[in-house]
Amino acid sequence: MNAKSSTTRKQPDIPSKPPLLRFTIVDLSGLAVFHRSYISEVMDELLFSGFSAAMIAFSRELGSELYGIQMEGVNYYFRTKEDFILVVGMYPRVRSSSAKRFLRLVFESINWGELEGYLNKAIYFQTEEFIENLEQIILEFQIKFKHLIS
């Protein structure tokens, strides 16, 4: 089921100026398997996910791990596991420790054992259970840190 086509589920009340701007899960091929944006944007999701995968691949080629970058006044933080990259974009006023805590919460909410059972692992990130759980984590983060955005 495509979460965007669901009209019966009420979307949570995200603050009008959310500290978390966008969240994407990318596979290492550069395909976005999950994406949410909380601002009006002109960013191409496919281009961004490919760029994220390329940056992670490049950092690994150099023998290091990419944890964050800043572009156009947005801080992007990365966390990887197996074939997936979690990418969160936040306003600079949100501390990196808070962004890392958000990524840890999402990371821990993923049932990595169950994910292994999927032939097409990207399908896991479209399940209703995963989406509902993730949206709750995002809502709680948005509300907790909304005071950082004026």
**Exposure of 58 by Cβ count < 10 A (0-12 exposed, 13-18 middle, 19+ buried)?**
exposed
Say which residue, 4 or 149, is predicted with more confidence. 149
Q: What is the mean pLDDT of the chain?
A: 84
Amino acid at 72: E
Q: Which domains does the chain have, with CATH numbers?
A: 15-148 (3.30.450.70)
Amino acid at 145: F
C-beta of residue 20 within 8 angstroms of C-beta of residue 90: yes
Residue 6: per-residue pLDDT: 42
SS3 144: helix
Say which residue, 91 or 103, is predicted with more confidence. 103
Structure confidence by residue, pLDDT tens digits, 45-69: 888 899 999 999 999 999 998 999 9
SS3 1: coil
C-beta of residue 94 within 8 angstroms of C-beta of residue 148: yes
Residue 149: per-residue pLDDT: 59
- Cα dist. 59→24, 55, 68, 113, 116 in Å? 19, 6, 11, 27, 26
Closest CA to 128 of 34, 26, 39: 34
Structural tokens at position 2:
């495509």
The dihedrals phi and psi of 87, each to the nearest 5 degrees, come to -125, 125
Structure confidence by residue, pLDDT tens digits, 98-139: 999 999 999 999 999 888 888 888 899 999 999 999 999 998
